[in-house]
Amino acid sequence: MNEEEALRFPYEDALFQAELEDQTLHAEARLTLTGHGGLQGVVTLSPFDLNADWREGRLDGTVKANLDRLEPITALIPNVTQSGGELRINFALGGTPTDPQVTGEATLQGGTVRIAVLGITLDPLRLEIRSKDPGTLLIDAEAGSGPGRINVNGTIAMDADRGWPARLSIHGERFEAVALPEVHLLASPDLTLQVLGRRIELTGQVFIPEAEITPRELPEGAVQVSEDVVIVRAPSGEETAADAAQRWEIHTRVRIRLGKEISFNGFGLTGKITGELLATDAPDQPTLAEGTLRIEEGKYQAYGQKLEITEGQIIFAGPTDNPGLDIRAVRKVEEITAGIHVSGTLKRPQSTLFSDPSMDEANTLSYLLLGRPLNQASGEEADLMTKAIAALGVKGGNLLAKRIGRTLGLDEVRLEGGDTIEETKLVIGRYLSPRFYVSYGIGLFEAANTLSLRYTINQKLTLRAESGEESSLDLLYTREYE
C-alpha cells in the first residue's frame, strides 16, 4: 500500500503486548478509534513450547468489539466504497488451536454496504453469528438490494483438522445482483455453498426473472485474441508447490433459468432471450455449459437494414465461448421474402441465403440488403454486398461475388484472402483493351488498397505495375516448353 492508498483513522488508545512465562503465552491487544468504537482481545495459551506441538496447548481468551461505524473494516475490503451499521462482538475462546471452542455471538444491525464493482447497495444488511455449541457457529444473514432480498443461513464447524467445514444455504427473491449501465439484473438464487479446506462446492439453481443487457460497442478496429494464444503462467513467474496448495479449488454445478423479461440490445441485435443452461466448473478446466438459449422478438440491424429474426437458438454443449448457432433472419419486400440462415459455431459460423419465391443467391442478397433486384444496384451498393459476403461468411462467396461483378459489367470480381480474415480484399478488374488489364484491391476490414496494371507486350513479354503499401514494376518473360 503506497502513501496515496494509506488508510488513516484517528485513535485514542492502542495497545499490543505479549509475554511468555513458565511456558504460558499471554497476549493482549486493544484499539480505541475516535468516533468509531473499539476492539480488544485477550488470549492465553498454555503450555507454549516451540520445541513441542504448541497447537495442542490449552486456549483461553476473549474477543470483543463495539463499532458504531464500519469504515475501519470495510476499508480493507476491495470495491466497497460506503458502509454503515453497528457491529457487536463478544466471543469466549477455549479448547486448543486445532480444536477451538467458541461461545458467544457477533451481530451487525442497521448495516449498509455499497459494492461499486456491481453498482449495488446492500440495504438493509443484517448479520448474526452465534454459537450453537462450543464447536459450531450458526450463520444467519439477510440483505436487501433493489426490489428484493437475499438470505444466507448455515453453519461453520470449528475444526481445523477437517479444514473448517462450512455449509451455507443461499435463498433470494428478485435480488438486484448487478446495476451497471451495461447490465441490470435481478436474481432469485436457491444455492448451497460448501467449503472444506481449500475446496469450494456451489450447487443449485438461479432464476433470473428480469435483466437488461446493453453491452458497450467494440471500438473500431478491435480484434479478438488469436486462438493460437496460450497463457502458460502469470507474469510473476512459475507457480510453486506452495502456491498451488494455497489455490482455491472451485467446483460448481448451477442451473441458470431465464425468465420472460430478459432483454438484449447491442451489436445491432435487439430482442428477448429465454431458456436455461447447466453451468459447471472444475479446477484448471474451462467453464462448460449445456442447454439452449432462444432469441424471441428479435431484430438485427446490419448494413443499414433491420432484419427480423424468425428463429434464433444458441446451443451450448461444451465450453461457453463457442456455442452452436441456429439463426434465421429475413427481410420482406412486398411479396418477396429474402433471408439468411446462420449455422456452425460462434467461432466458425456459416451462412446460407434463401428466398421465397426462390431466386439465385445474388438476387437474394440484393433483396436482403438493398430491397430490390441486383440489376438495379449501383457500384457502391455492389461493394456493400461483397463486403457483406465476406463478413457474413456466406457459402460460395467467390462465385456469388463474380455473379455480382458480371451484372455490373466487370471482368473479374473475387475475394482474395490473407493470413487472417482481417486481411481479406475485394478485387475487381476489367480489360480496357485485349492487352491492357486494370484491377483494384479494396481491404474489407483494413485500409489497404492496391492498384494493379498489366500490359501484354507480346506472347512472351508482360509488363506489370502495382501500387499500394509497396510499389513494384516487373517485366515478366514467359516461355513454354514442350
What count of Cα atoms within 13 Å lies in the side-chain half-sphere of residue 355?
21
How sure is the predictor about 403, in pLDDT bands with cuts at 50, 70 and 90?
low
273-282, 352-361, 386-395, 416-425 — most confident range: 273-282
What does the CA dihedral 326, 331, 336, 341 come to, rounded to 10 degrees? Answer: -20
Residue 232 pLDDT > 80, yes or no? Answer: no
Residue 90 pLDDT > 90, yes or no? Answer: yes
Which residue has better confidence, 468 or 405? 468
> 313-348 burial, b if ≥16 CB within 10 A, otherwise e?
ebbbeeeeeebbbebbbbbeeeebbbbbbbeeeeee
Residue 219 pLDDT > 70, yes or no? Answer: no
Residue 127 pLDDT > 90, yes or no? Answer: yes
Could you tell me what percent of the chain has a pLDDT over 70? Answer: 77
DSSP symbols for 325-353: EEEEEEEEETTEEEEEEEEEBSSSEEEEE
Looking at residues 37-49, what average pLDDT do you find? 89
Rounded Cα distance between 106 and 263, Å, is 42
Looking at residues 111-122, what average pLDDT do you find? 92
Q: Output the average pLDDT for the chain.
A: 81
Domain spans of the chain? 410-482
Residue 279's pLDDT is 94
pTM of the shown model: 0.74
Beta strands in 174-304 (DSSP E): 175-179, 183-196, 199-213, 249-266, 269-281, 288-302
26-30, 246-250, 414-418 — most confident range: 26-30
Which residue has better confidence, 145 or 76? 145
Calculate the alpha carbon distances from 186 to 127, 174, 303 in Å.
22, 5, 34
